[in-house]
Structure 1
Amino acid sequence: MTDRPSYYITTPIYYVNDVPHIGHAYTTLACDVLARFKRLAGFDVMFLTGTDEHGQKVEKSAEKAGVDPQAFCDRVSERFRDLASAMNYSNDQFIRTTEDRHKKAVQHLWKELVAKGYIYEDKYAGWYSVRDEAFYGEGELIDGPDGGKVAPTGAPVEWVEEPSFFFKLSAFEDKLLALYDSQEDFVLPKSRLNEVRSFVKGGLEDLSISRTTFSWGVPVPDVPGHIMYVWIDALTNYLTAIGYPDTNSETYKKYWPANVHMVGKDILRFHAVYWPAFLMAADLPVPQRVFAHGWWTNEGQKISKSLGNVIDPFALIESHGLDPVRFFLLREVPFGNDGDFSERAFLIRCNADLSNNFGNLAQRSLSMIFKNCDGVVPTPGAFSDADKAILNAVEGLLPVVRGHMDRQAFNLALDAIWGVVGEANVYIANEAPWTLKKTDPERMATVLYVTAECVRQLAILIQPFMPMAMEKMLDQMAVEGRGFDTLGEAGRLKPGAAIAQPQGVFPRFEVPAEGAA
């Protein structure tokens, strides 16, 4: 099928100076859920993640570890691949900026910017944060704990003076503001767009895009001693993965411009200001959207190594299971806001929504079918108004959920789905098939058919969030077609089809008493 619409979604590429944490897991999870949703909707999806492996911070981390930078990158990058596997991400590519194809792409982009007159040589003198890999103006610095100045992120800064090539970022103020006005969803959430617009309106200075004081990076073409600043290097990965510099390649033509660049709010400026400016300068289309999500805290505290409260996604999966973790991270907090991870909130949420609500709905209805209908989907009679109402509710979910997903409002999509889960539980309680078993077996068969059909459609919609759990649930019902084209009447359960003996797919967690250690 070649006429499927394309969809290109990217994570930021993760910096390899440290091991993966919950923030990395969260960003890529959001992209994975969106990629899975689009595939089920019939899209030809390209989902990209990877690692950013150049820069002074990596060079210093490798030196501290006593290994050469490439060996250091190889080791840490593998941990991010391990995370992708542990979280059951469905990424189509994993890119590394140390790959030859990437060096070729970024050097080509550099030459394009030189040819178009947007790069010039000068000397850089200013404040630089190794930890942030970012330059800061004097006015952006804040007072640090020891009385000195630090970056707005709290990172240490050092005064740097060196020869540098500059990108004429100042030439793009009006073009960027016009972009934000014409493409009003270019940055979401809206509050982040306001921040970006305000930053650009405050005036843009030309951007230093090469360094000479360290050597771990992509060499500037034809200029010995200069390596590219990590952000022009890193951002170009989104083009590298789809065949750039061959803009006539099938993959480039199919997937560019990207539909969504998903990023943490700390790197929004690089993606919503610098990146579109580089692309405009090279006469390349800009992405359709940059979505900047918030940060997680742990039990109300900022996550930091010094506090010892870093949330290890591998440990979380080991202790609680993968799909409950995937569900909680996107259910608990409006996507785009900051969120707090609390063990107690996690256990309560998963018990309430998964075990008690959806799990109970599926277990009750499928167990009754298995025991009372010879283990096959029953033949329904004529549908009552109550039957039609709940079927209409579940069959009306897709456009609602799609609207939320297209704006990356994952929690609202789950709210809509769980609203119908609740309605289905009310329906089965009201109809009481366990009573009808004695008084009206034919009506019981209809009620169980309707609830099983609700479970089927809900499970298909929930697949992007919890693929393994929903695969088990749909397997028990022997459901074959699982794309969104099977929602509604088109894919309804066939009476007489055998189902497997139902087994719960969601664990029930023990919740410690409030205040217990």
Structure 2
Amino acid sequence: MTDKKFYITTPIYYPSDYLHIGHCYCTIAADTMARYKKIMGYDVYFLTGTDEHGEKIQRKAEEAKTTPKEYVDNIVDATKKLWKRLHIDYSHYIRTTDDYHERRVQNIFKQLYDKGYIYKGSYKGLYCVSDEAFFTESQVVKKDDGKCYCPDCEKELEYKEEECYYLKLSEFGDWLINYYKEHPEFLEPKERQNEMLKNFLLPGLEDLAVTRKGLNWGIPCPIDNEHSIYVWIDALSNYITALGYSEEDELYKKYWPCDVHFVGKEIVRFHAIIWPIMLKMLDIPLPKKVFGHGWVLFDDGKKMSKSRGNVVDPNTLIDKYGVDALRYFLMREINFGVDGFYSQELFLKRINSDLANDYGNLWHRISSMLGRYFNGVLPEEVESVYSDRERELKKAVLTLDANVESALDSFKFQEALFNIWEVIKMVNKYVEESAPWNLAKDETKKDHLANVMYISCQAYYI
């Protein structure tokens, strides 16, 4: 048993429709990080799941002439199959419709109410059904048609007027601003912290509506049976309810606080404002880090969305090119933390250039020559005939792990792969310049030939 623990989460995805490669991007990044930490000897807990309640799901189910539960069951089944195809090795998959989660969320809500942080009021204002979010006049996007649109998903907002319960976020704005100052590592990349301060914290936080009246598809409110618990107390709590918080403490004590929440930039404000304030209210330690990554955009700069009809189905790419190609492309092409681009041309260029030419052809060449010149048996190295070229390559290979570790510890997946590929290119160049096919013709160069094959094979193996 190791005392080194690492707890990583993806957001819980909203199953209003089937997932696209934008969702895969975050999950593959988390899986990559979890695998790296396991290699480094950590006891890893990797959580993912689905956020299944809310008005949007209820409407989708009605359109499909089915129940909300049946509707989300189909999406969750497809999601789990996709994660299996992508070799996502999660520790636990949480659904917000799981009985244990609903009980624990009700306990959390009751704790917040008993502490005086929840009060009854009424809501009048703009609401995004798609994002399950309320917005103030200053936060919305106003267009030439006179209508108001969601700043995150860009869909038209609805006006709502209804009774609800509020969470006293406004009391904790100054505390959170100071927390950011004292813990600059809490929210990354740095520009996400600047966005939260400029757009939400410095203008002043407003209290948050945390129940909906008359919404059937939600967790019943424990203090008022006419209300359901509204999405963010339900959804955000998954990171601790999955560990048994408020009922069974074994996993919770072992893994909390979370080492990192990976989330898309559009939901950073929920994870970097509402979530830490909720935890502060509950006297629970905050996660060590929230990392808000960018979007996977088309190369014309447009965001993928079902409503635009421009999503890329990961299953289609896997069927045609394989799992490794998709995983590699998403981690290599995009700088984690900023927006990146996808197109068929970029995808094929990366696969052909890196995987087929640099990596695949290198192995084909050296394995063929090893078979031809040494009957497939790796020769011993002969250090006495090393030149500066061999020493330089050997040093690059043997220091590669430190460079990769440094990159991955900062969630720089692209940089880690760049470092690996620089060495792959060095090996290709070394084989080309050494010309083993010429060395094999000269009996006096046998030791040199043995070295070329030894170093090339070992470098490739590493």
Amino acid at match of 2:268: L
* Residues 1:59 and 2:64 aligned together: no
> Secondary structure at 2:440's aligned position in 1?
helix
* CA distance in 2: counterparts of 1:428 and 1:455, whole angstroms: 12
CA contact (8 A) 1:162 1:213 kept: no
CA contact (8 A) 1:188 1:290 kept: yes
Pairs within 5 Å for 1:81-160: 81-144=80-143, 146-153=145-152, 154-160=154-160
Pairs within 5 Å for 1:335-374: 335-374=336-375
* CA distance in 1: counterparts of 2:402 and 2:29, whole angstroms: 19
> Secondary structure at 2:244's aligned position in 1?
coil
Runs of 4+ in 1 over 4 A off after TM superposition: none
Amino acid at match of 2:334: V
Post-superposition Cα deviations, 1:52-75, rounded to whole Å, max 9, x if no partner, equal 100111111111111111111111
Between stretches 63-72 and 376-385, larger displacement belongs to 376-385
Query: What corresponds to 2:188 in structure 1?
Result: 188
How many aligned positions are there? 455
* Residues 1:453 and 2:458 aligned together: yes
* CA distance in 2: counterparts of 1:228 and 1:390, whole angstroms: 60
Between stretches 341-350 and 431-440, larger displacement belongs to 431-440
* Residues 1:402 and 2:409 aligned together: no
CA contact (8 A) 1:298 1:311 kept: no
Pairs within 5 Å for 1:9-48: 9-48=8-47
* CA distance in 1: counterparts of 2:103 and 2:345, whole angstroms: 49
Pairs within 5 Å for 1:259-408: 259-300=259-300, 301-382=302-383, 384=386, 385-408=388-411
Q: CA deviation at 1:303?
A: 2.6
Between stretches 361-370 and 414-423, larger displacement belongs to 361-370
Amino acid at match of 1:232: I
CA contact (8 A) 1:8 1:256 kept: yes
Post-superposition Cα deviations, 1:186-232, rounded to whole Å, max 9, x if no partner, equal 11111111111222111101111011031111111132111111111
Amino acid at match of 2:159: W
Provide closer, same or farther for how the CA distance between residues 378 and 4 of structure 1 changes in structure 2, counting only shifts above 3 A: farther
Q: CA deviation at 1:142?
A: 2.0
Q: CA deviation at 1:360?
A: 2.1
* CA distance in 2: counterparts of 1:42 and 1:455, whole angstroms: 24
* CA distance in 2: counterparts of 1:247 and 1:119, whole angstroms: 25
Provide closer, same or farther for how the CA distance between residues 125 and 307 of structure 1 changes in structure 2, counting only shifts above 3 A: closer
Pairs within 5 Å for 1:200-219: 200-219=201-220
CA contact (8 A) 2:110 2:223 kept: no
Q: CA deviation at 1:325?
A: 1.2
> Secondary structure at 1:8's aligned position in 2?
strand
CA contact (8 A) 1:131 1:156 kept: no
Q: TM-score, normalised by structure 2?
A: 0.95
**What is the aligned-residue identity percentage?**
43
* CA distance in 2: counterparts of 1:218 and 1:357, whole angstroms: 53
Query: What corresponds to 2:449 in structure 1?
Result: 444
Q: CA deviation at 1:110?
A: 1.2
CA contact (8 A) 1:428 1:447 kept: yes
CA contact (8 A) 1:304 1:310 kept: yes
Query: Could you tell me which of 424, 433, 438 is aligned with 2:436?
Result: 433
* CA distance in 2: counterparts of 1:248 and 1:66, whole angstroms: 41
* CA distance in 2: counterparts of 1:375 and 1:131, whole angstroms: 60
Post-superposition Cα deviations, 1:21-49, rounded to whole Å, max 9, x if no partner, equal 11111110111111111111111111111
Q: CA deviation at 1:442?
A: 2.2
Q: CA deviation at 1:96?
A: 0.5
> Secondary structure at 1:94's aligned position in 2?
strand
Post-superposition Cα deviations, 1:130-166, rounded to whole Å, max 9, x if no partner, equal 1110000012222246432222232222222222111
> Secondary structure at 1:268's aligned position in 2?
helix
Q: CA deviation at 1:364?
A: 1.6
* CA distance in 1: counterparts of 2:16 and 2:125, whole angstroms: 24
CA contact (8 A) 2:22 2:304 kept: no
* CA distance in 2: counterparts of 1:150 and 1:78, whole angstroms: 32
Between stretches 434-443 and 339-348, larger displacement belongs to 434-443
Between stretches 389-398 and 304-313, larger displacement belongs to 304-313
* CA distance in 1: counterparts of 2:449 and 2:41, whole angstroms: 36
Q: Please list every run of 5 or more consecutive structure 2 residues that lacks an aligned counterpart in the other structure.
A: none
* CA distance in 1: counterparts of 2:309 and 2:167, whole angstroms: 40
CA contact (8 A) 1:54 1:216 kept: yes
* CA distance in 1: counterparts of 2:382 and 2:313, whole angstroms: 52
CA contact (8 A) 1:380 1:449 kept: yes
Q: CA deviation at 1:78?
A: 0.9
* CA distance in 1: counterparts of 2:236 and 2:453, whole angstroms: 53
* CA distance in 2: counterparts of 1:141 and 1:100, whole angstroms: 36
Q: Please list every run of 5 or more consecutive structure 1 residues that lacks an aligned counterpart in the other structure.
A: 458-517
Q: CA deviation at 1:306?
A: 4.8
* CA distance in 1: counterparts of 2:299 and 2:392, whole angstroms: 41
CA contact (8 A) 2:168 2:207 kept: yes
Amino acid at match of 1:203: G
CA contact (8 A) 2:2 2:41 kept: no
Q: CA deviation at 1:394?
A: 1.3
Query: What corresponds to 1:503 in structure 2?
Result: none
> Secondary structure at 2:383's aligned position in 1?
coil
> Secondary structure at 2:219's aligned position in 1?
coil
Q: CA deviation at 1:344?
A: 1.2
Between stretches 173-182 and 140-149, larger displacement belongs to 140-149
Amino acid at match of 2:130: R
* CA distance in 1: counterparts of 2:206 and 2:122, whole angstroms: 14
> Secondary structure at 2:351's aligned position in 1?
helix
